[in-house]
Amino acid sequence: MSTNSTNLGFRGALRRFGKAAALGLVLFGGSAVLFYSDGFQKMFAAVGADVDLPEVAGIEVAQANREAMHAARAAWLEDINAPAPSIPIGPDGYFAPPSEDEIPDGPFGESIRRGRDIFVNTPKYAPQYSGNSQSCVNCHLDAGRKENSAPLWGAYTKYPMYRGKNKMVNTYQERIKGCFTYSMNAQASPAGGPPPLGDQVYLDLEAYAFWLASGAPTGQVLPGAGYPKVPETELGYDYNRGEKVYAQNCAICHGDDGQGRREADGSVRFPPLWGPEAYNWGAGMARINTAASFIKYNMPLSQGQTLSDQDAWDVAAYINSFERPKDPRQTGSLEEARQTFHKNEQSYYGKEVRGKIIGHGVSREQAL
Amino acid sequence: MKHNEHNDITKVDHNFEPYEPYRPIPLLVIAVVCALGVWGVLTYIGDLTAAEQFVARTAPVAEAPATPAVELAEGLNNASPEILALVHEGRDHVWSCASCHGDAGEGNATTPRLAGQVSDYLFKQLVDFRDGIRDNAHMAYVARGLGEDEMRELADYYAQIRLPSLVGPRLDGNLERGRQLAHEGDWKRNVPACLQCHGASGEGVQPSFPVLAGQQPEYTFAQLALWHADARGNSPQQLMDKIVQAMTPEDMRAVSDYLSTLPLNREPAPQVQ
C-alpha cells in the first residue's frame, strides 16, 4: 500500500478545510464588493450588453447639485482661490431651482409660500383680482419650475426688461400686472382690474419667483426659459384641421366643448380653453404662435413633444378660433383695437371665423 | 496463430495499484461551497430580519377594521332588484360582484375597491374587459355575461356608494416619496403629479380619471406594474403607460401606499350628470 504517503490524516484534512474556508470567505467578499460596486453591470455594459444601471431619481441629482453650489459659495467666501460656484443644474442640464423643503422660515418663507399658493390656485388665493377660472400654473407647469414652460427661474432674472407690448422697460411687478390684466382677465374680477403696483399679491409672487431663481445668473438667457418657438409649417395653420387634433389629444381633459373639467366641489381641475372662463383676447396665449409653442412642448400633459409641428399649429388655431373675454384695451371699435394692438400678430382677433367676425369678447353674463 | 494477449500470464503489470488512489477534493471547490454557504446564511438572516421589521411596522394596519364595511357604507340598496341580484348572487354560472369585491364594494388586496368609483370609468373598464382591451381572464368572463345596460347600472350603483377609506399602507413604501409623487410629481422624469389629473384629493374626475384615494394599495401597485410592463393597454392616449414606464418599482410602491392613506371626504350621493 502506497496511499499512506499522500493521506493527510484527520488533522491534515482539517487544516486543508480551514484553508479552503478562508479562500471561500475571500471569494465571497470579492464577489460582494464587485456586485455592490456595480462592477458586474459595468462589465456587461462594457461588452455592449443592455443592462439597467441603478437609477437616481431626477430630483435627487438636482438637489445634490444645489448642495454643491451652497458648499462652493461658502468655500469661496472663505478662500478667494477656491473655485467659484457654478449654476446648479438637473440631470437633463436645465437649471435646478430649489426644492420646497428649502423654503426658509420666517416672514420671507411665509411670503414665498403665499406666492406659491397664489401661483398654483389663483382663483382661490387671489380671488379679488381673478376674473376667470385660470391659475398661473396652467401655463407654467410644475408650479413654475418646468423648463420650456416659461419657468419663473427663467423669467425672474430677465427683468427689468423692455417689452414691445407696452413699449417701456417693465419691472417684474409690471410684468405680472400684465398676467392679471389679460391671462386672469382681471376686468371681470371683483376688483374690476389688476392689483395696483405694490400690492401684496405682487410682493408674494415676486418672493416666490425670486426664491425659485436662486442660483440663476443675470445677464444670460437660460436654456429652457420661455416657450421654444415652433417652426412655421408649409401648410400654415388651420382651425378646421385642428378640430380633429383637439378631439384626439385634448378633449379627454379639457372637454369636447373646451370648458375644462371641475371636481365635485366645483374647483377647476382642467382649465377652460375658451369662453368667459378662459384667458382674454389680449393674453399672449391668444396668439396662435405662442399657444402652438406651449402646446408643442407641454401638451398633452406628460407627453410634450409628441405632437407634430403641424398638429401643434392647427390645434392652437382651433383653440384660439372661439370667443373669449374681450381685450380690455379695446375702447373704440373692434377694428380700431385690431389695428392698434393686434396688427401683425398670428391670431383671429377681428377676423372672420366660421362666417363671423370674432374678437368682440364674451362675458360671464352673456354666457348665462 | 493468433495469440490472446489478455491471457498471457507473462505480461502482468507489476505497478498496477488495485486500490483507488487518494484524490482530495480540489481546494477551490471547497472554497466555492464555503462562499455559497456564507451567502446563503447571510441572505437568510437578512430576509428574516427584514420580514420581522416588516411585520412589526405593518401589523397595526393589517388588523381588520372593527366595524364591517357593510355597516359603514351608505347607498348599498340604491339599485333595482335585478342589479342587486347581480351584485350579491350572480347569474347562472357567472359569479357575483360581491364574491370578490366585497359586500360593500370595498375590495381586497389586488381586487379593487369599487365603492365611490367614477361611474363612467367603471363602465369603460367593463366594456374593455369584455372586448379584451383590458386583459383579465376573470373579469372578461364576467363582463361577457353582462349587457351594456347592466354594465351602466352596475357602474352607477358602485359609484353612488359612500364608504370611508378602510385601508392604509401595506407595501412598506416610502410615504414621503409617495406624497411628493402624488402632489408634485417628478417632472425630471416627466412624471406629473397623480392628483393633477385624478383630483386634488385623489377623488377622481368625471368621466375618465378614476378615484385613487383609499384604493387597496396592492391593487394600485399591481396596475402600475402592468403599465410598467406594457401589459395594461386601455389607458386613453396611453397616458398612464408612458408615465409609469418612467417610474421605478420603489416609486410605484411608495405612491400606491401613499394614495391608500388619502381619506375620502366626498359629499354624500352627488347627482351624476
Say what the pLDDT of residue A4 is.
45
Distance from CA of A286 to the nearest CA of B (A): 24
- Pair A350, A357: CB distance under 8 Å: yes
Residue A237 has pLDDT above 50, yes or no: yes
Say what the pLDDT of residue B49 is.
84
Residue B271 has pLDDT above 60, yes or no: no
Residue B270 has pLDDT above 60, yes or no: no
Identify all chain A residues contacting B192, using CB atoms and an 8 Å cutoff: 141-142, 301-302
Say what the pLDDT of residue A51 is.
54
Nearest CA in chain B to A54: B248
Residue A61 pLDDT class (50, 70, 90 cuts): confident
Identify all chain A residues contacting B262, using CB atoms and an 8 Å cutoff: none
Residue B258: name the closest of B188, B207, B200, B194 by CA: B194
Give the mean pLDDT of chain A: 91
Residue A55 has pLDDT above 70, yes or no: no
Nearest CA in chain A to B272: A264
Q: Phi and psi (nearest 5°) for A261?
A: -140, 150
B67 is written with which cell numbers?
366595524
Residue A252 sits at the chain B interface (C-beta within 8 Å): yes
- Pair B225, B252: CB distance under 8 Å: yes
Angle value at C-alpha B11, between B8 and B13, nearest 5 degrees: 135
- Pair B270, B162: CB distance under 8 Å: no
C-alpha–C-alpha distance, residues A85 and A72, integer Å: 5
Residue B72 has pLDDT above 90, yes or no: no
Q: How far is CA A137 from CA A68, A118, A152, in A?
A: 29, 9, 10
Cβ pair B31:A24 closer than 8 A: yes
Which residue numbers of B have CB closer than 8 Å to A's CBs? Answer: 17, 19, 21-22, 24, 27-28, 30-35, 37-39, 180, 184-192, 196-197, 199-200, 203, 205-206, 208, 236-237, 239, 242-243, 248, 251, 266-267, 270
Nearest to A301 among B37, B188, B192 (CB): B192
Nearest to A23 among B31, B186, B243 (CB): B31
To test the contact with chain A by mutation, choose from B177, B188, B234 the residue with the greatest count of A C-beta atoms within 10 A, namely B188
Question: Which segments of chain A does DSSP mark as H helices, in order?
Answer: 9-36, 39-46, 58-78, 106-120, 122-125, 141-144, 152-155, 172-178, 200-212, 239-249, 251-254, 288-298, 309-319, 334-341, 364-367
| DSSP codes joined into one string, B126-144 | HHHHHHTSS--HHHHHHHH
Say what the pLDDT of residue B272 is.
42
C-alpha–C-alpha distance, residues A347 and A328, integer Å: 16
Domain ranges, ordered by start, for chain B:
69-160, 175-261
This model of the complex carries an ipTM of 0.80
- Pair B219, B225: CB distance under 8 Å: no
Nearest CA in chain A to B189: A58
Q: Which of A107-111, A283-287, B33-37, B54-58 has the lowest mean pLDDT?
A: B54-58
Say what the pLDDT of residue B60 is.
52
Nearest CA in chain A to B28: A20
CATH architecture label of A103-212: Orthogonal Bundle (1.10)
A110 exposure class (CB count in 10 Å sphere: 0-12, 13-18, 19+): middle
Residue A90 pLDDT class (50, 70, 90 cuts): confident
Nearest to A3 among B19, B30, B206 (CB): B19
Say what the pLDDT of residue B266 is.
62
Q: Which of A233-237, B185-189, B244-248 has the lowest mean pLDDT?
A: B185-189
Percent of chain B that is helix, strand, coil (3-state, to 5): 55, 5, 45
Cβ pair B22:A142 closer than 8 A: no
Neighbours of B151 (CB within 10 A): 19
Asked whether this chain's domains B69-160 and B175-261 adopt the same fold, the reply is yes
Q: Which residue has the higher pLDDT, A33 or B62?
A: A33
Cβ pair B27:A20 closer than 8 A: yes
To test the contact with chain A by mutation, choose from B19, B27, B28, B34 the residue with the greatest count of A C-beta atoms within 10 A, namely B34
Residue A52 sits at the chain B interface (C-beta within 8 Å): no
Say what the pLDDT of residue B92 is.
84
- Pair A364, A305: CB distance under 8 Å: no
Tens of pLDDT, residues A346-365: 999 999 999 999 999 999 88
A303 exposure class (CB count in 10 Å sphere: 0-12, 13-18, 19+): middle
Identify all chain A residues contacting B28, using CB atoms and an 8 Å cutoff: 20, 23
Say what the pLDDT of residue B50 is.
79
Tens of pLDDT, residues B149-172: 999 999 999 999 999 999 999 999
Size of interface A-B (CB pairs under 8 A): 116
Tens of pLDDT, residues B88-144: 999 887 889 999 999 999 999 999 999 999 999 999 999 999 999 999 999 999 999
Nearest CA in chain A to B237: A249
Nearest CA in chain A to B271: A264
Tens of pLDDT, residues A31-49: 888 887 777 777 777 776 6
Residue A2 has pLDDT above 50, yes or no: no
Q: Look up residue A184 and give its amino acid.
A: M
The domain defined by A239-367 folds into: Cytochrome Bc1 Complex; Chain D, domain 2 (1.10.760)
- Pair A203, A197: CB distance under 8 Å: no
Residue A74 has pLDDT above 50, yes or no: yes
Top-tier CATH class for B175-261 = mainly alpha
Q: Which residue has the higher pLDDT, A5 or A72?
A: A72
Query: Terminal CA-to-CA distance of chain B, rounded, Å?
Result: 112
Nearest to A7 among B22, B180, B270 (CB): B22
Residue B33 has pLDDT above 60, yes or no: yes
Rounded average pLDDT over A140-154: 96
Give the mean pLDDT of chain B: 87
Residue A58 pLDDT class (50, 70, 90 cuts): low
C-alpha–C-alpha distance, residues A297 and A316, integer Å: 12
Residue A248 has pLDDT above 50, yes or no: yes
Domain B69-160 superfamily per CATH:
Cytochrome c-like domain (1.10.760.10)
C-alpha–C-alpha distance, residues A145 and A152, integer Å: 7
Q: Which residue has the higher pLDDT, A330 or A8?
A: A330
Q: Which residue has the higher pLDDT, A47 or B192?
A: B192
Residue B248 has pLDDT above 80, yes or no: yes
Say what the pLDDT of residue A133 is.
94
Domain ranges, ordered by start, for chain A:
58-93, 103-212, 239-367
In this prediction, what percent of chain A has a pLDDT beyond 70?
Answer: 94
Asked whether this chain's domains A103-212 and A239-367 adopt the same fold, the reply is yes
Tens of pLDDT, residues A202-225: 999 999 999 999 999 988 899 999
Say what the pLDDT of residue B273 is.
39
Contacts of B112 (CB under 8 A, 6+ apart): B101, B215, B216, B219
B65 is written with which cell numbers?
377594521
Nearest to A24 among B34, B186, B191 (CB): B34
